Amino acid sequence: MERVTARPQFHDQLVLLEEQALGALDIVVEQIDRVMEALENQDVELATFVIADDDRIDGRYLEVHQGILSLLALQAPVATDLRLVAALLHLIKHAERMGDQCVNIAKLIPIVGSEPPVVPELLDRVLRMGTAARSEVVEARVAFKSRDVDLANDLFRQDREVNRLNKEVFRLAVAVGDEVDRREWAMTLTLMARAIERIGDNAVGVGEQVVFVETGLFKEFPSE
């Protein structure tokens, strides 16, 4: 009789953990919005807020991680439930890594100074990368929430655009000229672009977990 009452409680806990993990992706979207605004406006104060707010994602990671370990230890999930538990471990780790990349971008913003020698075309590409990566994170959340394999597979298509823009950033940075300040600014933006590219990769990783939960097979999406 105790086992009968335990399983509904287990599923309630699993639903709560999924909501908490998906909430971490919502925080990531907020962080992307803030750090891209900080970059566009050279807002050092906002960048500092992004760095400080990473504690929210770290705290959420610990909550979900510990909750999942408790479920594994006390409830011994099987079949689909076990796949979901494993996928949530990956999801929350991807979210934590995306938050770290937002912090990496934010830490670079003060380095270039209050009036950097902006090359508009180069800045435009990085901001477009941010918009595209944000879209990936939103789509990954929807795909996981709805267990939509087709939407998860579409993340690879979106990520190709992020990768294309990343290559453009590098090309434009190389061609920026010999002026030291401009070169330093351009190299800093290539580091930011790399961080954004990693956010996209982690969003794709969430999509891979959707396929795993639904099919029981781990499908690593192709990379370029």
81 and 12 in contact (C-beta within 8 Å)?
A: no
Residue 85 lies in a domain: yes
Residue 24 pLDDT: 97
Band the pLDDT of 164: cuts 50, 70, 90.
very high
Mean pLDDT of 5-25: 86
Q: Tell me what percent of the residues of the chain surpass a pLDDT of 70.
A: 93
Q: What's the one-letter identity of residue 129? A: M
User: What pTM, to 2 d.p., does this model score?
Assistant: 0.90
State pLDDT tens for residues 60-95.
Answer: 999 999 998 888 877 777 778 889 999 999 999 999
Predicted pLDDT of residue 223: 59
Closest CA to 24 of 54, 45, 51: 54
Give the CATH number of the domain where residue 142 resides.
1.20.58.220
Q: Is residue 224 part of a domain?
A: no
Q: What is the mean pLDDT of the chain?
A: 90
- Establish if 221 belongs to a structural domain: no
Out of 35-44, 111-120, 152-161, least confident range: 111-120
Other Cβ atoms less than 10 A from the Cβ of 1: the count is 5
Q: Looking at residue 48, what DSSP letter applies?
A: H
> How many domains does the chain divide into?
1
**Mean pLDDT, range 189-195, rounded to an integer:** 97
| pLDDT of 114 higher than 90 | no
Q: Is 119 helix (H, G, I), strand (E, B) or coil?
A: coil
Question: In this model, does residue 44 exceed pLDDT 70?
Answer: yes
Half-sphere exposure of 151 (CA within 13 A, CB side): 18
Mean pLDDT of 184-200: 95
Residue 205 falls inside a structural domain: yes
Instruction: Return the pLDDT at 224.
Output: 58
- Strands (E) located in 60-124: none
Backbone angles phi, psi at 195, to 5 degrees: -65, -40
Range of the domain at 193: 2-215
Is residue 152 in a domain?
A: yes
